Amino acid sequence: MLLTVTDLRKTYATADGDFDVLRGVDLSLDAGQTLALTGESGSGKSTLLHLIGGLDVPDGGRIVLDGTDLTALDDAGRARMRRETVGVVFQQFNLIPSLRVVDNIAFQARLAGRHDGAWCDTLAERMGLTPQLRKYPEQLSGGQQQRVAIARTLAPRPRLVLADEPTGNLDEAAAAQVLALMLELVTDTGAGLLMVTHSDRLAGQMQRRLHLSRGVIA
């Protein structure tokens, strides 16, 4: 099993008292599997993704990723997980504005010490980014930016790819194209994919589908 989440809990302290976002989430994912996570806005999908990605810490429960207990790691340990094992694609503001496209694509792989120039070239080519390599992120369209983000996430060949509404900011045609490319490449690398979406049509393209409601998997 690539990912096992057991009884995951997260509570936010707000002005009106504590707010339990996740109340015991269980889920698991195999390598090479694709999973869609749906749910209403505010149901805690992003929160769950952040916890799995080692971006935040849960208040209870366990996350075992590729044999490592994430919840037992410190700040530096989680940072290493983020570099080497997981890749996250966000809805927006993904890229490092000061670096050119080519350097953005290679960034995470080089951080992880797994840079493979030929693979990066392949990714750029298949994402249709070859003409844009010397540009800066702000010079690209939204769809192009998101393709850079996906290429960058896949460059170090992560075991698990997390995507939080990766096409939410794109128009329908661009969204379909980006998603198709992502699925194709994830399948090629054999990684697991966990994607948050509230589009039924997109969720339908994934192998499995889970629904988050009132802090638990329905």
Partner 1 sequence: MTGTVLRALLSHWRRNPLQLFTLLAGLALATALWSGVQAINAEARASYDSAAATLGEGTFDQLTRSDGQPLTVASYVALRRAGWLVSPVTEGRLDGVRIVGLDPLTAPGGLGPVQIADGADVGAFLSGQGQVFGRAAALAALPAGPEKVESPDVAPDTVITDIGVAQRLLGRDGQIDRLIVAMTQPIGQAPLSEIAPELIRKVAQGGSDLGRLTDSFHLNLTAFGLLSFAVGIFIVNGAIGLAFEQRRPVVRTLRALGVPLRRLMVLMALELALMALVAGGIGVALGYVIASLLLPDVAATLQGLYGATVAGTLQLRPVWWASGLAIAFGGTAMASAAAFWRLARLPLLAGGSPRALSMAAGRSARVQGALALVLLVAAGALALTAQGLVAGFALLGSMLIGAALALPLILDRVLAMAERLSRGVRAQWFWADTRQQLPGLSLALAALLLAMAANVGVSTMVSSFRLTFTGFLDQRLASELYVTAADPADAKRLVDYVTPRVRAVLPIQSAPAQIAGFPAEVFGARDDATYRDNWAFLSANPDTWDAVAAGDGILINEQLSRRSGLSLNDAVTLGGRQFAVEGVYGDYGNPIGQAILTEAAFEALYPDVTPLRFGLRLPAAEVPSLVEALENDVGIPAANTVNQAGIKRISLDIFDRTFTVTTALNILTLTVAGFAILMSLLTLAALRVPQLAPAWAMGLTRRELGLLELVRAVLLAVLTALVALPLGLALAWALLAVVNVAAFGWRLPMFLFPLDYLRLGGFALLAAALAALWPAWRLARTPPSDLLKVFSNER
Ligand X SMILES: Nc1ncnc2c1ncn2[C@@H]1O[C@H](COP(=O)(O)OP(=O)(O)O)[C@@H](O)[C@H]1O
Q: Which residues pair with 187 in a beta bridge?
A: none
Helix (H, G, I), strand (E, B) or coil at 186: helix
Q: Are 8 and 24 in contact (CB under 8 A)?
A: yes
Query: In the set 36, 44, 147, 202, which binds ligand X (CB under 6 A)?
Result: 44
- Among 193, 3, 191, 165, smallest CA distance to 25 is for 3
185 binds partner 1 (CB under 8 A): no
Sign of CA dihedral 166, 30, 48, 200: positive
Span from 29-37, 92-100, 117-125, 186-194 in contact with partner 1 (CB under 8 A): 92-100
Q: Binder to partner 1 among 59, 66, 103, 116 (CB under 8 A)?
A: 103
Distance CA 76, CA 5 (A): 21
Q: Which of residues 139-168 bind partner 1 (CB under 8 A)?
A: 139, 152, 164-165, 168
The reply on whether position 42 binds ligand X by CB under 6 A is: yes
Question: 49 vs 105, which CB is nearer to Mg ion?
Answer: 49
Q: Which does 5 bind (CB under 5 to 8 A by kind): Mg ion, partner 1, ligand X, none?
A: none
167 part of the interface to ligand X, by CB under 6 A: no
Calpha distance 74→78 (Å, rounded) = 6
- The tokens for 120 are 């990066």
CA–CA gap between residue 218 and residue 196 (Å, rounded): 15
* Closest residue to ligand X, based on beta-carbon distance: 46
Q: Does 98 bind ligand X (CB under 6 A)?
A: no
HSE-CB at 218 with a 13 A cutoff on CA atoms is 13
Residue whose CB is less far from Mg ion, 41 or 98: 41
Question: Which of Mg ion, partner 1, ligand X, none is residue 21 near (CB under 5 to 8 Å by kind)?
Answer: ligand X
Q: Answer yes or no whether residue 146 interacts with ligand X by CB under 6 A.
A: no
Judged by CB under 6 A, which of 33, 34, 47, 108 binds ligand X? 47
What does the DSSP 8-state code read for residue 218? -
DSSP-derived secondary structure for 116-142? -HHHHHHHHHHTT-GGGTTS-GGGS-H
- Write out the residues near partner 1 by the rule CB under 8 A: 41, 46, 50, 53, 55-57, 75-76, 79-84, 88, 90-99, 103, 106-108, 110-112, 115, 138-139, 152, 164-165, 168
- Write out the residues near ligand X by the rule CB under 6 A: 12, 14, 21, 39, 41-47
